[in-house]
Structure 1
Amino acid sequence: MPPPLVVAASLVAVEAFVLAALGVLELASIRSTRLTMGATTAAFFLAAAAALAWCAWSLWNVRRWARGPVVMTQLIQLGLAWNLWAGSTKPVSAGLALVALVVIAGLVHPASTQVLEEDARLEP
């Protein structure tokens, strides 16, 4: 597996871990006054974490289908970074944008594209 794809898959795994941590923190902060909002938010974070973890694992195993959902996630993350670019959230915004751009670059790198396209030729 080429290094750019290793980096991309690793960063996606880290993103999945962070989303899972946010989901657990949301579960821990649920109060009776906001039970529905807290439960659905936690469920969303945990489901997104599971989906990203599956995509990261699939990229590690050179599965071409995982590239599309990961790129879409990174584009959403870039939009979130854009919206957070103000005041005290600038460092978070910069971090989100940097990770998203590195993941996208790793996925579209020629070496990554080559091995992912080889996977497509091997599919029955």
Structure 2
Amino acid sequence: MSAHAKPTGTARNLLLVAAVVVLAEAGTCVVLAVLGLLDLGGDSIGSGIGVSLILAVYGGFQAWAAWRVTEGDQWARSPLVVTQIIQLIIAFNLADVPTWITVLLGSAAVVTLACLLSPPVTRALGDNPPV
């Protein structure tokens, strides 16, 4: 864990916005995992359980990283940035879904990335003490 204090001021507000968006995404993953388990049948039992497990673990890790970044842990920003970039790529490559889903996924990723990569957050999390 980080020895840094909780970010304050603008950095804290931006991290809270990012955390709320990521928590909504994580909650969606967990709900999809539960729905996947409830819809198991026939040939999809193995893959359904596997996908549901992956979604649940992914959602749980996202929620944990969102919480840790608001506490000032520098490491937690990296996985959040990576997953938002992946989400942005997915949003641009969705073809057979309604447009509003693509816009929602892309917008959430852009807002989260803007918050996580903003100068106040970088200053708050980027103070690396000498080893």
TM-score, normalised by the number of residues in structure 2: 0.85
Any runs of at least 4 consecutive aligned residues in structure 1 with deviations exceeding 6 A, and if so which?
Answer: none
Q: Are 2:41 and 1:31 aligned?
A: yes
In structure 1, the residue matched to 2:104 is 95
Gapped runs of 5+ residues in structure 2? 1-7
Structure whose residues are more often helix by fraction: 1
1:22 aligns with 2:32: yes
Number of matched pairs:
121
* Whole-angstrom distance in 2 between the partners of 1:88 and 1:16: 20
Equivalent residue in structure 2 for 1:116, among 106, 121, 125: 125
Output one character per residue of 1:18-62: Cα deviation in whole Å (capped at 9) or x when no partner. Answer: 111111110111113211011001001001011101111111211
CA RMSD of aligned residues (A): 1.6
SS of the residue aligned with 2:124?
helix
Structure 1 equivalent of residue 4 of structure 2: none
Give the Cα–Cα distance (whole angstroms) in 2 for the partners of residues 62 and 14 of structure 1.
Answer: 20
* Partner residue, 1:106: 115
Question: Structure 1 stretches of 5 or more lacking a match?
Answer: none
State whether structure 2 residue 56 is matched by structure 1 residue 49.
no
Identical pairs, percent: 31
